[in-house]
Amino acid sequence: MATTTARPAARPTIRQSRLMINNEWVDASDGGTFDTLNPATGDVLAKVAHATAKDVDAAVRTARKALETGVWSRMDAADRGRLMFKLADRIEQHATELAALESVNSGKTIRDSRGDVEGVVNTLRYYAGWADKIEGKTVPVRGNFLSYTLRQPVGVVGQIIPWNFPLLMLAWKWGPALACGNTIVMKTAEQTPLSAMRVAELAVEVGIPPGVINLLAGLGETTGQAMVVHPGIDKIAFTGHVDTARLIQKNAAPTLKRMTFELGGKSPNVVFGDADLDNAVEGAFHAIYFHCGQCCTAGSRLFVERKVHKEFVQRLAAEAKKRRIGDPMDEDTEQGPQVSQEQLDKILGYVASGQKQGAKLIVGGQRVGERGFFVSPTIFDDVRDDMEIAQDEIFGPVVGVLPFDSMDEVVERANSTYYGLAAGVWTQDVNKAHTFAKRVKAGTVWVNCYHVVDTTTPFGGFKLSGQGRENGEAALDHYTETKTVTVKLG
Ligand code: NAI
Ligand code: MG
C-alpha cells in the first residue's frame, strides 16, 4: 500500500474532557473516567469523565427544568433560530480546530473531517431557519367548532450517538430538537467524546441557556442504559447497531418513550452493463471505502451485471492497490485507521469468514502496520447471497462483489436482506434507473452517484435499518407532539 509523506495538519489541544450539565463542566459523581484513544496510534488521548446514573439524573433534572420554565420552548421562535445561527457561525469560526479534534479522536481523514464540520454548520443553519416555521393547521370539523393544531416539543430528549460521524450526528440530532423547542441530554460514543465537548463549550459561549443542552460521556451499558430507563426522558433518538436498538426498545418499554432509530445497513450498489464504467468504478470505490467503510450507507454489496463483471473487479482492484493509507492528519491521506481494536478484530473476523465460506479474496484483507487500527481495502469476488459477508454489516473497507443477469433478479436479491437503508444504481437507461429506484426497499436511492446526503432531504431506513427519519422537514415530526385544540363557537 502507498503511504503518505505530506505535512500533517496541526494537532489540536484537548481542552475539555468532563461532562456538561446545566452549562457547567463537572467530573463524574463518582470520579470515574474512561480512556479515549487516538486510533491511528492506539495511544490514550485523554481520560474522560464517565457519567453515572446519578449524573444522568442530574442532567435530566436540569433539562426538565429548562423545558418547564420555557426558557427555550417559549422563547420567541425567531430568537431561538437566531441563537442556532450564532452557534453555526461560531462552529464555522472554529472549523480548523474542530476538524483536527475529530480526526485525532476518530481516525477520520482531515479532509473528511473538514467536510463533516461543514455539514454540521449547514445542518444547524437549516434547522435554525425552521425554528419559526413550525406550524399547525386549522382543521374543518363537524358542528360549530373551531379546531386547530399546535406543534409542541416532545420534551426532554435523550440522544445517543455513534463514533463514525461524531460531530455530524450531534448536529443531525441537536438541529431538529432545538428548532422544535426540546431540551437535550446527549451521550456521545465512548470512542469519540472530544469534539462534541468543544462544540458544547461553543454553545455556552453563544448563549444557549443553561439546561437546554446537556452533554454526557460514558459507555452504552452504563450511561446509555441509565438514559434509556430514566422516566424523565420523553424520547430516545439513537444511531448505532440494530442489536443495541433492540435492547434499547426493550429497556425503554416500561416508560414507553418515543423512539427514533438509525441502524445501518447492507446496502446494494447495482452496476448495469450500460453504465459509464469510469464513473461507476469511481462511485463503487467511494461507496464502500469512504471513511474506511465505517458508514451506515456503505455500498457493501456490489452487484455487477455479468457482462462487465470481470473487467469491473479488475479495475476496482487496481484502484484499491493505489489507496494512500496513513496518518489521518496528513493532507494526502485517503484512508485512516478503523476506529478501534474491536472494529479491527470484527473486520478481520469477517475476512476469515469470507475465505472459509468460499468467496474469492481479490485484494486486501489484512491489517496494515502494527500501530493503530489500519486495514487494507478489501475486495471479495464470487460472493453468494447466503454468505456471512453478504448478510452482516461489516463496517469496514470490505466489499463483496455479486454478479447478476437481469433487473428482476437483482431487485429480488438486493431486497433479500433485513436491512433497507440505502441503495445505488449505475446505468444510462432512465427506465432501468427509475424501475430499480421504485422497487428497491431502501430509505435513500442514489442514481449514478453515492453517499450524497444533504441536510434538507429525509434520511432513514426501511425494515431493520431504522424507525423514523432524520434531516429535512421529516425530522420535525419526530421532535414535536401534535395537540388538537377545539373551541365551541357561538
Ligand atoms: P453500538 O450500537 O453499541 O453503539 C452506538 C451508541 O450506543 C454508543 O454511544 C454506545 O455507547 C451506545 N450504546 C451501546 N449499548 C447501549 C445500551 N445498552 N443502551 C444505551 N446505549 C447504548 O455500536 P458499536 O458497538 O459502537 O459498534 C458495533 C457495530 O454497530 C458496528 O460494527 C456497526 O456495524 C454498527 N454501527 C452502526 C452505526 C450506524 O451509523 N448506523 C454507527 C456505529 C456502529
Ligand atoms: Mg456496542
Could you write out the DSSP letters of every residue in 300-340?
A: -EEEEEHHHHHHHHHHHHHHHHH-BBS-TTBTT-SB---S-
Q: What is the rounded CA–CA span in Å between residue 147 and residue 340?
A: 54
Residue of 334, 329, 388, 396 lying closest to 358 (CA atoms): 388
Beta carbons of 420 and 465 less than 8 angstroms apart: yes
Q: What is the rounded CA–CA span in Å between residue 274 and residue 55?
A: 58
Residue of 407, 368, 363 lying closest to 381 (CA atoms): 363
pLDDT of residue 11: 86
Give the chain's mean pLDDT: 97
Q: Is the CB of 224 under 6 A from ligand 1?
A: yes
pLDDT at 416 over 90: yes
Q: What is the rounded CA–CA span in Å between residue 115 and residue 97?
A: 13
212's grid cell: 437546554
Residue nearest to atom 13 of ligand 1 (CA): 220
Q: In this predicted model, what pLDDT tens digit does every residue of 302-311 receive, in sequence order?
A: 999 999 999 9
Q: In this predicted model, what pLDDT tens digit does every residue of 25-39 receive, in sequence order?
A: 999 999 999 999 999
Ligand 1 centre and the CA of 487: distance in Å?
47
pLDDT of residue 7: 63
pLDDT at 372 over 50: yes
Q: Is the CB of 259 under 6 A from ligand 1?
A: no
pLDDT of residue 8: 73
Q: What is the rounded CA–CA span in Å between residue 300 and residue 465?
A: 15
pLDDT of residue 421: 98
pLDDT of residue 9: 80
Start-to-end CA span in the chain (Å): 80
Ligand 1 centre and the CA of 77: distance in Å?
34
- Of all ligands present, the nearest one to the C-alpha of 221 is 1
Q: Is the CB of 164 under 6 A from ligand 1?
A: yes
Q: How confident is the model at residue 6 (pLDDT cuts 50, 70, 90)?
A: low
Residue of 303, 312, 257, 245 lying closest to 282 (CA atoms): 312
E strand or H helix that includes residue 114: helix 110-130
Of 2-11, 265-274, 332-341, 416-425, the poorest mean pLDDT is in 2-11
Q: Is the CB of 160 under 6 A from ligand 1?
A: yes
Q: What is the rounded CA–CA span in Å between residue 210 and residue 453?
A: 32
Beta carbons of 266 and 391 less than 8 angstroms apart: yes
Q: Is the CB of 337 under 6 A from ligand 1?
A: no
Task: Report, as residue numbers or ranges, the catalytic residues.
Answer: 262, 296
The Cβ of residue 150 has, within 10 Å, a number of other Cβ atoms equal to 14
442's grid cell: 431502501
Q: In this predicted model, what pLDDT tens digit does every residue of 128-176 receive, in sequence order?
A: 999 999 999 999 999 999 999 999 999 999 999 999 999 999 999 999 9
Ligand 1 centre and the CA of 137: distance in Å?
38
pLDDT of residue 1: 46
Mean pLDDT, residues 358-379 taken together: 98
Atom of ligand 1 nearest to the CA of 346: 32
Q: In this predicted model, what pLDDT tens digit does every residue of 16-26 receive, in sequence order?
A: 999 999 999 99
Q: Is the CB of 219 under 6 A from ligand 1?
A: yes
Q: In this predicted model, what pLDDT tens digit does every residue of 283-295 receive, in sequence order?
A: 999 999 999 999 9
Strand partners, 147: 139, 486
Atom of ligand 1 nearest to the CA of 163: 43
Cα 449–Cα 444–Cα 433 angle in degrees, nearest 5: 55
pLDDT at 75 over 80: yes
Question: What type of residue is 319?
Answer: E
Residue nearest to atom 15 of ligand 1 (CA): 220
Model confidence, pTM: 0.98
% the chain with pLDDT above 70 = 99
Residue of 400, 422, 404, 424 lying closest to 412 (CA atoms): 404
Phi, psi of 109 (to 5 degrees): -65, 150
Of 164, 165, 241, best ligand 1 pocket probe by most atoms within 8 Å of the beta carbon: 241
